[in-house]
Amino acid sequence: MAAGTAMDWREGLDAGVLSSESLVRDSFRRIHALDGRLHCILAMDEERSLQVAREADARLRAGDRSPVLGLPVVLKDNLHWSGLQVSCGSRSLDGYRAPYDATVVGRLLAAGAVPVGKANLDEFAMGSSGEFSAFAPACNPWDLARVPGGSSSGSVVAVAAGYAPLALGSDTGGSVRLPASFCNVTALRPTYGVLSRHGLTAMASSLDQVGPIAVSAADIALAFGVMAGRDPMDSTSVDLPGVERLARLQPRSLKGLRIGLPQEYFTDGLEPGVEGLLEAAIQVFTEQGAEVQEVSLPHTRYAIDTYYLLCTSEVSSNLSRFDGVRYGPRAKRETLTEMLSETRDQGLGSEVKRRILLGAFCLSKGYYDAFYLKALRARTLITSDFDRVFESVDLLATPVATGTAFPFGAKMEDPLAMYLADVFTVTAPLAGLPCLSMPAGFVAGLPVGIQLIGPPCSDVMLLETAHAFQSLTSHHLQTPPFSQIGASHGL
């Protein structure tokens, strides 16, 4: 069976034409056929997944109906699913298995979704390309010589390659949106707090959010509505207004929709062809009656500096727990200090070490005020920019990235160039805003995404707007050229 959308499979399951077990078996056949080249799955428990699928089929036969009942889903390997590994893409967690379910995973399981694999990622979700996994990096299915984007590389590739119609990633500064743009899928970063962080391995706690990934906005809505809402295990969690509209998402009327184009995002740095695709996407909105105006977010120029000062500071604190004392491999040394130092040196990769060191420096005596405290103040100014702009527009439309997916190795020796890959995606997380990436077309055969950003708790409106755009276009329905990665399997 060829890959399909979550909505397609939902209808087939509800009609009794499809079974969850057959879909899950097809997911595993596809993974076995293609993942030797794509490298996006780090762990599976096929028998357990098939048992969950059989239970879903029993519920379907009994007349139970749920937006995700029986649907396969891939989980980023920094989310806990009880009994399976949580590697976070790092050697420092070899042998660690989740003792409980993350809240979002538990809610999906309760609604009948079937996890089929744990997905590859940049180590501890630190990276923009997917190249910083301690294991073989996931490959972009549109061009195996190019990066898929990070850090949720495996989750996005799994959807693009048809392993499952739904996946979960995490987004701190662009980690579901950037790879979504590079791989031609749709991904949502919710308003901060709408999806519980309980059971998501912390990177930067004031920025991290679980992000659902699928072919379309309508597919994302199926899973998002099941997972959203307050969680007593996460004190930062909030309820989502309009969640009842997600089970059967309807396109929003675009007539009169006020769209802002931030001048700071449309720069000379956009690659040739990308700006043209963005203009064409905006024209789709205006032809349906949307009103477009240029706006300004003047403190955007401080966003990259602010993000990386805050992110690395929180990283240095959160990752202090990975020391070999309670879990993971432990170096054998004579003293406690030597053991801790050697364990972290052996277990952590270069990018993780770089961010820990940068964060420790930012928080150190004599530099806290000059760096961390100043970054907090800049964050407030960036948030105020958004508050002011959303008084006159309903949402913002921006690029996701300056260009298409770049070749493996192109930025590995230049950390600053790698960080600048996030230039359009870090600003909204600093303000806690919902934003999504959706396909907008192709340049030289490679996907390009457009980003929509909304005010706090406008997540449902963003998805309805994206659904309206995708009802008028077909970019999101284009699939990668599987002839180069396993057409002989007939998948």
In a domain, 306, yes or no: no
200's tokens: 């998501």
- Yes or no: say if 207 and 429 are a contact pair by the CB < 8 Å rule: yes
In a domain, 79, yes or no: yes
Whole-number Å distance between alpha carbons of 29 and 24: 9
144's tokens: 């195996």
pLDDT of 131 > 70? The answer is yes
| CATH assignment at residue 20 | 3.90.1300.10
In a domain, 400, yes or no: yes
In a domain, 411, yes or no: yes
- Yes or no: say if 204 and 307 are a contact pair by the CB < 8 Å rule: no
Stretch 121-132: mean pLDDT: 98
Supply the DSSP symbol for 57: H
List Cα–Cα distances, 194 to 237, 238, 242, in angstroms: 6, 5, 12
pLDDT of 432 > 80? The answer is yes
246's tokens: 């997600």
Catalytic residue annotation: 76, 151, 175
Strand order in the sheet with 209-214: 41-43, 114-119, 72-76, 166-171, 209-214, 186-189, 435-443, 446-453, 395-399, 258-262, 291-295
Residues 160-170 pLDDT 10s? 999 999 999 99
Give the chain's domain count. 1
In a domain, 42, yes or no: yes
- Exposure on the CB side of residue 223, measured as CA atoms within 13 A: 36
Residues 216-235 pLDDT 10s? 999 999 999 999 999 999 99
Paired residues of 262 in beta bridges? 295
In a domain, 357, yes or no: no
In a domain, 334, yes or no: no
* CA trace torsion 192, 164, 249, 436 (10° rounding): 40
In a domain, 38, yes or no: yes
Stretch 431-446: mean pLDDT: 98
Whole-number Å distance between alpha carbons of 188 and 190: 6
Stretch 406-426: mean pLDDT: 94
Residues 183-193 pLDDT 10s? 999 999 999 99
pTM, entire model: 0.96
Residues 32-65 pLDDT 10s? 999 999 999 999 999 999 999 999 999 999 999 9
Q: Which domain holds residue 70?
A: 6-297+384-489
319's tokens: 């990752």
